[in-house]
Amino acid sequence: MPVEIAATMYRMPDGSQEVELMHDGQTRRFTAEGLSEYIEALSAVRANLLPPVPLEVPGGQSLPTQLDPNFSTTANAMVNGSSLYFRHSGFGWLGVIIPFDNLVALHRLLGAQIEEAKISRARPSN
């Protein structure tokens, strides 16, 4: 069942915005930064609830996605792999730490997609 939240946006004198959220008869007002902190706190709560988030991408449902996100990556010596960060306009910066074996698997999968895209790009369009 979808969660129903009413949102009212307010422009502040300094040009920033605040949002007032109404859910189940309760109202809370947030700055952009405050809402980001609240979302982060909710994600920490969700991480500890059962059942856990599925390990596989759920089929047949819409998932929050970001077209062409900013991203950053750095080597991560702790796991002999990589730290990878993506910017989502609603969730902020999301980070993952990818150990070596999974990094190799990701490289292989992305490499195959790149090769497929090169072939598709080279085909003449009708």
Query: Which amino acid is present at 66?
Result: Q
Asked whether the predicted pLDDT for residue 1 surpasses 80, the reply is no
pLDDT tens readout for residues 80-126: 999 999 999 999 999 999 999 999 999 999 999 999 999 998 887 76
Q: Mean pLDDT check: name the lowest of 53-57, 65-69, 75-79, 120-124.
A: 120-124
Residues 6+ apart with CB under 8 A from 113: none
- Tell me, what's the pLDDT at 123? 83
- Annotated domain spans of the chain: 1-52, 66-126
What percent of the chain has pLDDT above 90? 89
Return the pLDDT at 122. 87
**DSSP element (H, E) containing 73:** strand 71-76
CA-based nearest residue to 103, from 82, 76, 120? 82
Q: What percent of the chain has pLDDT above 70?
A: 98
Q: Which two tokens stand for residue 126?
A: 């009708």
